[in-house]
Amino acid sequence: MSIFKTRNLKIASYLYASKVELFGYEKFEGDTYFKFLSSPRIKTLIDNYYVDRALVNPRDLFARLDDLRDIVYSSGKYENSDLAD
């Protein structure tokens, strides 16, 4: 199983709003890294993001941004127990 990690909150929110499964997150030295199950679709979504072709429902995007901000400012660590080894 391959994992894509990012600490970029905007990219993570966009992926999450695009229905990419959030596998978990980890905090390290003050940064929060969001983990997604890697897929070819992630590369396409990120490429679209950087060339201003990202299509996502704005309400979903802002809701996911709020969800991930809650994670950034919370304590602890989360991983999807169904997928973790």
Residue 32 lies inside a defined structural domain of this protein: yes
Residue 29 lies inside a defined structural domain of this protein: yes
Residue 79 has pLDDT above 60, yes or no: no
Question: What range does the domain containing 12 cover?
Answer: 3-79
Residue 84 lies inside a defined structural domain of this protein: no
**Tokens coding 7:** 């600490």
Residue 85 lies inside a defined structural domain of this protein: no
Residue 22 lies inside a defined structural domain of this protein: yes
pLDDT tens column, 17-74: 999 999 999 998 989 999 999 999 999 999 999 999 999 999 999 999 999 999 998 8
pTM of the model: 0.84
Residue 83 has pLDDT above 80, yes or no: no
Query: Does residue 32 contact residue 72 with C-beta atoms inside 8 Å?
Result: yes
Residue 67 lies inside a defined structural domain of this protein: yes
Query: Does residue 25 contact residue 32 with C-beta atoms inside 8 Å?
Result: yes
Residue 70 lies inside a defined structural domain of this protein: yes
Count of domains observed in the chain: 1
